[in-house]
A and B are shown apart, each in its own frame.
Chain A
Amino acid sequence: EAAVTQSPRNKVAVTGGKVTLSCNQTNNHNNMYWYRQDTGHGLRLIHYSYGAGSTEKGDIPDGYKASRPSQENFSLILELATPSQTSVYFCASGATGTGTEVFFGKGTRLTVV
């Protein structure tokens, strides 16, 4: 069973603080993704990666950085958190190629106060 694990599951952060969301996958997938989900917007891609050491900007990268230190781990970093970044964040992994299934973690609910 493909597994994507996110931590923490819930996080409250202060405005201007640094936040790191972590993701681990045991699927040996090359591709990993970070999405945020907001009412009225569906899921939007923030950053993605094709393998260890690579990160690519998605559709809404501003205010976020990503890090892929290994095949298994992919982090999303908010250097200076803002209330507009309050959202639910999903990590996902998938094999290389068009049309391959993507597996999602259970999400991290981030509140920036």
Chain B
Amino acid sequence: AQSVTQPDARVTVSEGASLQLRCKYSSSGTPYLFWYVQYPRQGLQLLLKYYSGDPVVQGVNGFEAEFSKSNSSFHLRKASVHWSDSAVYFCVLSATGNTGKLIFGLGTTLQVQP
């Protein structure tokens, strides 16, 4: 069965520090992976996506993620966080079978301290 695990429910970092949010996935087929962000009282917005090719993918606002097939991971990174990055981040796996369905991790709440 396909699944996504985000082991850290909450991460707190200082403004200007680097960031890594962890994501592990389980999928028998080719994984299509996404990171979405949810700002307070808002819907989810796409940060970046991975389908194939270069394992490091660039997203919006300086975010990037690295895909590792051997580790079944898709960790999100940012070199220097800003207070406005405080939000909930979801790692998401596209379900197989051409249904268009998504499988969500439980999310990681990022708090950036000034």
Contact = CB atoms under 8 A, between A and B. Distances in A.
Interface of A: 4, 31, 33, 40-43, 45, 48, 50, 58, 90, 92, 94-102, 104-107
Given A98-B95, A104-B45, A42 B105 contact: yes
Contacts, number: 63
Nearest to B4: A42
Interface of B is mostly: loop
A60 B105 CA distance: 16
B43 A101 contact: no
A102 B102 contact: yes
A61 B107 CA distance: 22
Range for the number of chain B residues in contact with chain A: 20 to 34
11 contacts: A43-B44, A43-B102, A45-B101, A94-B100, A98-B95, A99-B49, A99-B94, A100-B100, A102-B100, A105-B43, A107-B41
A90 B101 CA distance: 14
Interface of B: 32, 34, 36, 41-46, 49, 51, 90, 94-102, 104-107
B107 A99 contact: no
Nearest to B98: A98
B107 A42 contact: yes
B43 A4 contact: yes
A98 B32 contact: yes
A96 B106 CA distance: 25
A40 B95 contact: no
B32 A99 contact: yes
A106 B101 CA distance: 19
A106 B43 contact: yes
B43 A90 contact: yes
A107 B43 contact: yes
Contacts of B42: 106-107
